[in-house]
Every structure is written in structure tokens, then in C-alpha cells.
Amino acid sequence: MRPELPREIVRLFRAKQARRRDLARLPFEEKMRIVFQLQRMADEILTMRGSPERRRRAGSAPRPRALSLNP
Amino acid sequence: MGPKRGLQVARVSGMEKTLDVLNELEENQVIERYAIGGGIAVTYHAEPMLTYDLDAFVLLPQASGKIISLSGIYEYLRAKKFPAHREHIMIHGHPVQFIPAYNALVEEAVRTAQAVSYRKVRTRIVRAEHLVAILFQTDRPKDRIRVALLLEQAAIDRKKLQAILKRHGLMSRWKEFSRENRYEA
């Protein structure tokens, strides 16, 4: 962590890091539940943003039980 | 990096059904062995991360000879009504990418992968040390981020990792990465 950052910000960043380490210790099933939630969030954000790529894909790929996205 | 075009992403859970199909491929000798790599493997060893597909590294049966072909897998799954979509096959709502073990490191990673259970379904996941080595080898920007995540959060046996890196000629990359990121090499 860069020492020139304000102390409060450093504290916030450390708390985030600790939270992520806690997440890393969750059971695999619980982590996968979060991954699926992240996928839904990412799709909602792209839809909200009205990304041309997202709109184009929505019309081009079949979407039965799945979203039309990609990493 | 933005999403790739046209890939369908699992919205549903129920990944255990997908894993059942991977196990079935092994039982029916369509593949010799598989192990999960990629973002799901990183998620297993570190914090959950956004990923849209399941990467399955596969060893193909000996009879396949020297030509690497996934056609056996594709034919088997097509007969089971799992549709292919570009480089993925949708298995019970989850896009799966089959990646043949393309070098000695990946083959070793599949052979030594860790047996785990996901909702009582057995599966295999590439060990953290091999995952780091594979990420060093592919070395895309997102791979470097994943390496940093694994080194920070995963239970990595440093001696084991170094032995793998040495065996596969990746020590100089490791040293370079350690220097840049202030890790102890």
C-alpha cells in the first residue's frame, strides 16, 4: 500500500483486502453462488449502459436459460 | 477486457449437472481425464471472480494419436443434444470450453489435479501451483492479475511451485514477475 495515501483511505483499502481474503476462504459452492450473482450483475450493468455490443449480441444469440455475454 | 461476442453465460446454478456430464465423458472414455482450469479454478483457490465459462482441460484417449481433435467430444455431446456455440458447448445452461492438454505443463496439471466435490458431485480442479505456472505461460494481462490474486490468497506451496516452474522453464518469468510485484522469488 502506498504510504502517501491518507490514513483513512489506507484503512478502507485494508478492510477491502481483508474482506476479499474472507471471500477466498468461503466454501466452493458459496463462491460459485457469488460467481453466478456477478454474472447477473455484469449483464444488468451492460444492459443499463446500453452497450452497443450488448444490444447487438442480444439480437444475435439464442438465450434460453442463459445470458449472451463473454469475458 | 470486454465480453467476447455471442457467448451464452450461465444464469442458472445447477453446475453439478454439467459436472456429471464431464464425468460421463470420462466414464465412457470419450476423454481420458479432465480437470477444471481458468476462472472457476481461480475462484476455487481464491476469491470469487467474474467468469463466463467453465474451462475443462482434457487428456484425449491414446487412440486419438498425435493429431489433437475434439471431434469425439463434440459428436458425443451433439448426440446428447448439447449445442455447440462457437468455441463452447452449452451443457445444462453452462458454457464449457474443452481445451486439449497442449503441452507437458498442462498435461501434468490435469494428471495431478485435485479431487473435489461440488454439491456431492465429484470433479477435479487444477492445483493452485499448476494454475500459477499455466498463467505464467499464457501471460496475458488478465493472467497476471490472476497470478497476483492466487499468490495473495491461495494456499500455495512455494517449493512445489518453484519445482514446477523449473521443470517447465518458467523460472525467469517468475523472477521477473517477483521483481515487478515485489514478491519473494
Asked if B174 and B106 sit in the same domain, the reply is no
Is B56 a member of any domain? yes
**Chain B interface includes A40 (CB < 8 A):** yes
Same domain? For B23 and B101 the reply is yes
Identity of the residue numbered B84: A
CA distances for A15 relative to A1, A11, A26, B145, B174, angstroms: 12, 6, 17, 20, 29
DSSP output for B19-84:
HHHHHHHHHTTSSSEEEEEHHHHHHHHSS-----SEEEEEEPPGGG-SS---HHHHHHHHHTT--E
DSSP sequence for B83-122:
-EETTEEEETTEEEEEEE--SHHHHHHHHTPEEEEETTEE
For residues B139 and B122, state if they share a domain: no
In a domain, B10, yes or no: no
Q: Torsions phi, psi of B105, nearest 5?
A: -65, -50
Q: Say what the pLDDT of residue B183 is.
A: 72
Residues B118 and B136 reside in one and the same domain: no
Question: Are both B37 and B73 inside the same structural domain?
Answer: yes
pLDDT of residue A65: 38
Whether chain A has a CB inside 8 Å of the CB on B85: the answer is: yes
pLDDT at B184: 66
Cβ atoms of B37 and B55 within 8 Å: the answer is yes
pLDDT of residue B2: 41
Q: Based on the fold, state whether residues B122 and B155 are members of the same structural domain.
A: no
* Residue B160: strand, helix, or coil: helix
Do B112 and B34 share a structural domain?
yes
- Residues B112, B150, single domain; the answer is no
B90 and B54, same structural domain?
yes
Q: Say yes or no: B52 and B115 in one domain.
A: yes
A18 and chain B in contact, CB less than 8 A: no
Q: Does a structural domain hold residue B9?
A: no
Q: Which three cell numbers stand for residue A26?
A: 468461503
Domain total of chain B: 2
pLDDT computed for residue A1 by the predictor: 62
Chain B hits for A1, CB-CB cut-off 8 Å, are: none
Range of the domain at B78: 15-126
Please give the model's pTM, rounded to 2 decimal places.
0.84
What are the residue ranges spanned by the domains of chain A? 7-60
Q: Quick one: average pLDDT of A2-28?
A: 91
**Lowest-pLDDT choice from A21-25, A47-51, B48-52, B153-157:** A47-51
Predicted local confidence at residue B62, as pLDDT: 76
Mark whether B19 and B32 lie in a shared domain: yes
Domain CATH code at residue B118: 3.30.460
Mean pLDDT of residues grouped by 10 in chain B (185 residues)? 44 81 97 97 97 96 72 95 93 95 97 96 98 96 95 96 97 90 70
Q: How many CB pairs under 8 A join A and B?
A: 113
Are residues B79 and B165 located together in one domain of the fold? Answer: no
CB B56 within 8 A of CB B22: yes
